[in-house]
Chain A
Amino acid sequence: MNDMSQAAPTADGRKIGGVLMEMKNITLRFGGVKAITDISFDIREGEIRAIIGPNGAGKSSMLNVISGFYTPQEGEVWFRGQRRQPMKPYEVARQGIARTFQNIALFDGMTVLDNIMTGRLTMMKSGLLAQALWWGRAEAEEVAHRAQVEKIIDFLEIQAIRKTPVGRLPYGLKKRVELARALAAEPKLLLLDEPMAGMNVEEKEDMSRFILDVNDEFGTTIALIEHDMGVVMDLSDRVVVMDYGKKIGDGTPAEVRANQDVIDAYLGVAHD
């Protein structure tokens, strides 16, 4: 776990690097309720890391700890070699973490393009007045950001809906737009909260392909929560399994699949 320098090439030639983020003995409480109990795991650079578990296992809480939205009462979060202090959401974004939400959080009245542009807000340097007047640096800056956003639009194949208000889009496309907005921030670490929830098989296949492509083309590290076991096992390099706020398994999909605790948690176990 502490071997940070080791780079393990995967079967298809992607490079998985050292540890990007490390969670050490995390415990999160809401009043008397323990959402997460003493969990430790790491996320390596360039990998796709899944967090799975039955309903109420504490997956979303874990994602919120990773994103810095929740500060755990106990334990340490290390990101890019530094121990993390409590911080504001925009500071998280500046650190290179972007996320999508389980229940889509886009601006319905704005076009797809404008929604994705908001993903680059933290990178815009010109002041409010300059942006309002759209003069000098503000203009040059917007053109540069737009060019970047267009690359993402091309990448996710959403050219046809560029100027469509998000409210008019079907669910599957909204999910894709949300992914686009997260990518616009050029994150080091991308957090996906149930990216396939509510999708049909075809949409799931599309989304899986895009997640793999993002990981492959941009080298983005991805941590995702997902219910669909088939998807998780196909996509992920390593999987953390949670149940009742505890970690019950951690390893490659094959290892996890063979883990008796995991089988019990998912299939239930006879109590006598």
Chain B
Amino acid sequence: MAIRTPDGEFPSIPALLRRNARDHGGLAAYREKEFGIWQSWTWTGAEAEIRAMAMGFLALGLARGDHVAVIGRNRPALYWSMVAAQMCGAVPVPLYQDATGDEMAYVLDHCGARFVVCGDQEQVDKVIEVQEGSGAHAIEQVVYLDKRGMRKYDHARLNALADVVAEGRAAHHRFEAELDARIAGLDPDSTCVMLYTSGTTGRPKGVVLSNRNIIETSRASSEFDHLKAGDDVLAYLPMAWVGDFIFSVGQAMWTGFCVNCPESDSTMMTDLREIGPTYFFAPPRIFETMLTSVMIRMEDAGPLKKRLFDHYMKLARRVGPAILDGKPVSGMDRLRYALGNLAVFGPLKNTLGLTRIRVAYTAGEAIGPEIFDFYRALGINLKQLYGQTEASVFITQQPDGEVRSDTVGVPSPGVEVKIGDSGEVFYRSPGTFVEYYKNPESTASTKDPEGWVATGDAGFFEEGTGHLRIIDRAKDVGKMADGRLFAPKYVENKLKFYPNILEAVVFGAGRRMCTAFLNIDLTAVGNWAERNNISYASYQELSQNPQVIAALKAHVEEVNRSVAEDPMLAGCQIHRFLVLHKELDADDGELTRTRKVRRKIIEQKFADLIEALYGGADKIYTETEVTYEDGRKGAIKATLTITDADTVPRTQRMAAE
């Protein structure tokens, strides 16, 4: 497939901004709830703000090719700062706002950022910590958005973003020509953004994406789902994540739809309801949380409402997805579904803020079939996609009408996908990244000279439908001691579909049997404990409650039965498990910032527990170091119960066959 270059007229994001301001200048481009009111900016207004900000950056001495780190929660001004940096010929580098000082220090030094734009005091403090620390850094100017608490800081090399904008505006005669020249200097090959991968192993790598990568991908994916000016998205996922950059910058600039920013992290659900986005993206976790809260509230509802809900949800699960996919459904069922829509589905969608959704995506992790079907049954067009930073997100996605919970869809427009001999998935696309910044070895080992990129995931194309199915990380797929296939993620996902289980880590590579660590979900289990009059004083106590463990044992055994049905993976049944006394946490290095399990670290850190799982003991005492949010360290001590779970023996299975 030929790689198309972006329309010569729009070689860069700033060029698209100019077009939007010209073609639909009056439409809302950004909204943000502040002081209880939705403030909005049109494309014309946004362009003026961004230009002023860019000229402010010029006044501070931002040079071509500089890196500008951006750290903070989703706010219009921070999105503008990225575009303003691009206008100046610099490269925006959004960072995870919950990164610790150490993690930030590495990235800031690696990209050599001269400018850092911070959302608030908390981020400024971390940057100052980096500046004053022993490590190398190139930081010269720090700019902050929220003025709160900043009054008494030394402002020699520190500026409020508002002041930078004001300065840029005042000096526009001086900088206008220079700015236009810099914008004109951008071409499809110049760097659009640099994003650091969360890195399940080793240090994060800086993925360089060009204007061509971002604009081509945004164009193709917007056309795929018929996105248009006038659509609304809610920008609430980390700005450092490639998905947010594609949705809130790439696609927003290409189509001219409106990016809505929540008031704060904790108001996301309220803001979702108020905005009612038409295009929505969320990791499975969010959909899961929403479903859990609906179910918990239905438990408290009156008997009539509860019966109405149960009755129509049963109907919806049966016919809802078929109606959504445009498959034949009897007239009677359609009528009953319409009634259900009036009584239950409509009001429920309205409460969730999903009434206006035309397209919703989930990705990043496998989603539980019940969760997935729940939303589709309500008539919400929830689909799955498969992607990664190095591909500018899109590798495969599900077309309307071909949506299932166990596949990730067909190759996205313009993307070629092939399965390697080892079962690893490879792709080649216009969105394929340019390189890893300052890391030619990794670039060479990931991307071959013909442009094929190894995803690191093992998967296969399904016969007949042509849909891709992902099994696990290729490097995690291994062999057990007796040579049977070991695919931990496959089992973990099955475990995590239970609302009681937040996280699961399965061990077994090179061992004679599989074992697991489980994390309880405090919301679900806590609610259950409350209903059953089980008192507990802490997370740790609840996690070791015998009734809780018994409930989890039932889940594990159910998973074992389901795993046993697949002869290839029957060896992955869980023989013994324990419930961890602490939640796995990115602050302790056990998860990545995108909440993926870091196996090596967990194996090292909890080596004593793993030994106990493979030993004969039924109790184990352990001490674990934890890091609090403010960076202090502490230790928690606990005695954990190890439980044996029933497995389906191979012989019995053969006999049954």
Contact = CB atoms under 8 A, between A and B. Distances in A.
B326 interface: no
A189 interface: no
A217 B267 contact: no
B266 A217 contact: no
Given A159-B263, A160-B266, A213 B36 contact: no
Nearest to B33: A159
A250 interface: no
B265 to A, nearest CB: 9
Q: Secondary structure at chain B's binding surface: helix, strand, loop or mixed? A: loop
Nearest to A152: B35
Interface in B131-188: 148-149, 151-152
Interface in B211-268: 263-264, 266-267
A213 B37 CA distance: 24
B152 A217 contact: no
Interface residues of A, number: 17
A213 B151 CA distance: 11
A254 to B, nearest CB: 22
Interface in B261-281: 263-264, 266-267, 270
A216 B121 CA distance: 14
B266 A155 contact: no
A213 B152 contact: no
Contacts of B35: 147, 150-151, 153-154
Interface in A1-37: 12-14
Given A159-B266, A159-B267, A160-B267, A216 B151 contact: yes
A216 B36 contact: no
A154 to B, nearest CB: 6
A162 B37 CA distance: 12
A93 to B, nearest CB: 25
Contact of B270 (A151, A155, A157, A160): A160
A154 B264 CA distance: 9
Nearest to B152: A13
Q: Secondary structure at chain A's binding surface: helix, strand, loop or mixed? A: helix
B149 A162 contact: no
B585 to A, nearest CB: 16
Nearest to A205: B630
Q: Taking each of A14, A150, A155, A159, which has the highest tally of chain B beta carbons within 10 Å of its own beta carbon? A: A159
Contact of A157 (B37, B149, B264): B264
Contact of B36 (A12, A14, A153, A157): A153
B189 interface: no
B34 interface: yes
Given A216-B149, A216-B151, A150 B36 contact: yes
Q: Taking each of B36, B264, B266, B270, which has the highest tally of chain A beta carbons within 10 Å of its own beta carbon? A: B36
A213 B149 contact: yes
Contacts of A154: 34-35
Nearest to B628: A202
A159 B148 contact: no
Nearest to B121: A213
28 contacts: A12-B152, A13-B152, A14-B152, A147-B35, A150-B35, A150-B36, A150-B37, A151-B35, A153-B36, A154-B34, A154-B35, A155-B148, A157-B264, A159-B264, A159-B266, A159-B267, A160-B264, A160-B266, A160-B267, A160-B270, A162-B36, A213-B148, A216-B149, A216-B151, A216-B152, A217-B148, A217-B149, A217-B151
Interface of A: 12-14, 146-147, 150-151, 153-155, 157, 159-160, 162, 213, 216-217
Given A12-B152, A159-B263, A160-B267, 12 more contacts: A13-B152, A147-B35, A150-B37, A151-B35, A154-B34, A159-B36, A159-B264, A159-B266, A159-B267, A160-B266, A162-B36, A213-B149
